Amino acid sequence: MRLFYSFLFYVWAAKAAAVDSIWTARYVVTMDARHRVIENGAIAVTGDHIVAVGTRAEIDRDYQAKQRVDRPDAILSPGLINTHTHAAMSLFRGVADDMKLQDWLEKFIFPAEARNVDREFVRWGTRLAAIEMALGGTTTYTDMYYFEETVAEATKEVGLRGVLGQTVIGFPAPDYKTPSDTLAGTEKFFKTFANDPLIVPAIAPHAIYTVPDDVLKACRVLADRYKKPLVIHLSETKHENEESIEKRGKTPTAALEAMGVLNGWTVAAHGVWLDDADMEILKARGTGLAHCPSSNMKLASGVAPVGKILALGIPMGLGTDGVAGSNNDHDMMEEMDLAAKLQKVTTFDPTALPAETAFSMATDMGARALRLDRMIGSIEKGKRADLIMIRLDQPHAVPIYNVYSQLVYALKASDVADVMVNGRVIVRNKKMLTIDPAPVLAKVAEYRERVKKSLAH
């Protein structure tokens, strides 16, 4: 009999395909075209991609793994996608709160950046932000800041995926003193990370009100030449819109359209003050949007017309924005919760922005907003293995009746246990595997004293 069972095991082993890893969970939330949720599900991963998705019985029958993660009290989902932030500004966390955007920028942030931001500031600030994002389940983020090649280095060091935009602005910046120098530096950045498995280099003109028109047009030309995205702030505040209409006779969206800036791969952050004509332009141009509910609430910028935007089929992801006052953390679980509730309370409709849609904005729809949906955003065969395990073994996580409701309204960033990006495990049991947080936290304490002294002058 023992020989018989040995024979059966040999036959099974011979038929089972070898893979690098198998992850199993109580629920696999695929976010595929049908948004399938597989109970007692599993996935198989080899290299950087997903080989198979199914029930645990199916995956265990067909595959053998070198490594396994089995969490019967967890949800396995695609990694979260933060479609707008300024990572290195994490070193300015809380430096200036409770004020209007223009005052915040002109009286605090721009001066603080001028006195403090250099390449090493950006490196350590990005490390801090990337660790926070990774531990909270974010696997891809879109950035807009200075010294972006250094942002890319730190992002890869931690193991995250990034769409990283080199900021272009109409006054001397910490890295480049003129827009022409910035454009030349961005072109070099494009070439350096042209085929990187984790980094999509981008150009990021700050906004229509801080970048000259000829430079905005040049940014579009450069992005198109290298087939890279252009990232920009768009219609974030009422003041921005009114100023544009007064000076140009057009909304920011209409003005950018007239210049040809939206005619290509574009990711626009905020979109709070879009009118119907603006939305039709964005739809026609295939522009992706980033909704930042925490930031818009904290700065009193307004409420984005998310329902109208989504009804038109415009892909809109979620973003935390930077944590220097417009938001104070990189918690994408919180953004999902706030996005849904903000739409409900402002439309007086509890059915507005259901939990499933909010979670979609943080995963598959966010990927569409970035035009990376062929690669990430869902758990499907052939896609990159960007995955997170979210535990369900805490009092606030049970009982569970609806997976999406639990993800959006109950679970927390601190419930994330394991994180894989591009097939590489970067967080296991809530611990970073790629970088030691201790030296980063120690360096952050040094920067705090430096920033405090700079603001005292």
Does residue 449 sit within a domain?
no
Q: Per DSSP, what are the bridge partners of residue 268? A: 232, 289
Same domain? 355 vs 230: yes
Q: Has residue 66 got a pLDDT over 50?
A: yes
How buried is 38 (Cβ within 10 angstroms: 0-12 exposed, 13-18 middle, 19+ buried)?
Answer: buried
Same domain? 62 vs 205: no
For 87, which DSSP code? Answer: G
Q: Could you report the per-residue pLDDT of 78-119, keeping only the tens digit for each?
A: 999 999 999 999 999 988 888 887 787 778 888 888 899 999
Model pLDDT, residue 457: 66
Calculate what percentage of the chain has a pLDDT beyond 90: 89
Q: Could you report the per-residue pLDDT of 154-177, keeping only the tens digit for each?
A: 999 999 999 999 999 999 999 999
Does residue 402 sit within a domain?
yes
Q: Could you report the per-residue pLDDT of 424-450, keeping only the tens digit for each?
A: 999 999 999 999 999 999 999 999 999
Does residue 445 sit within a domain?
no
* Enclosing domain of residue 416: 17-78+384-422
Is 395 within 8 Å of 87 (Cβ atoms)? Answer: no
Q: Residue 454's pLDDT band (boundaries 50, 70, 90)?
A: confident
Q: Per DSSP, what are the bridge partners of residue 23? A: 43, 69
Distance CA 359, CA 336 (A): 6
Q: Has residue 281 got a pLDDT over 60?
A: yes
Same domain? 62 vs 88: no
Q: Residue 7's pLDDT band (boundaries 50, 70, 90)?
A: very low
Q: What's the CATH number where 67 sits?
A: 2.30.40.10
Cα radius of gyration (the chain): 22
* Kind and range of the H or E run holding 404: helix 403-405
Same domain? 101 vs 209: yes
The closest alpha carbon to 141, from 211, 79, 69, belongs to 79
Within 13 Å and on the Cβ side, how many CA atoms surround 133?
38
Pairing of strands 161-168, 266-270: unpaired
Distance CA 30, CA 46 (A): 18
Same domain? 127 vs 56: no
Same domain? 312 vs 410: no
Same domain? 49 vs 135: no
Taking phi over 0 as left and psi of -120 to 50 as alpha, with beta for the rest, 90 belongs to alpha
Distance CA 367, CA 315 (A): 9
DSSP 327-358: -S---HHHHHHHHHHHHHHHHT-TTSS-HHHH
The total of structural domains in the chain comes to: 2
Q: Is 251 helix (H, G, I), strand (E, B) or coil?
A: coil
Average pLDDT, the chain: 95
Same domain? 165 vs 24: no
Does residue 358 sit within a domain?
yes
Same domain? 52 vs 112: no
Same domain? 345 vs 228: yes
Q: Could you report the per-residue pLDDT of 23-51, keeping only the tens digit for each?
A: 999 999 999 999 999 999 999 999 999 99
**Segments in 142-212 forming alpha helices (H):** 148-158, 179-192
The closest alpha carbon to 393, from 419, 421, 408, 412, belongs to 412
Q: Could you report the per-residue pLDDT of 368-419, keeping only the tens digit for each?
A: 999 999 999 999 999 999 999 999 999 999 999 999 999 999 999 999 999 9
User: What value does the mean pLDDT take over residues 256-278?
Assistant: 98
Distance CA 181, CA 167 (A): 12
Does residue 129 sit within a domain?
yes
Q: What's the CATH number where 208 sits?
A: 3.20.20.140
Taking phi over 0 as left and psi of -120 to 50 as alpha, with beta for the rest, 40 belongs to left
Does residue 256 sit within a domain?
yes
Beta-carbon count within 10 A of 3 CB: 7
Is 293 within 8 Å of 338 (Cβ atoms)? Answer: yes
For 436, which DSSP code? Answer: -
User: What value does the mean pLDDT take over residues 69-78?
Assistant: 98
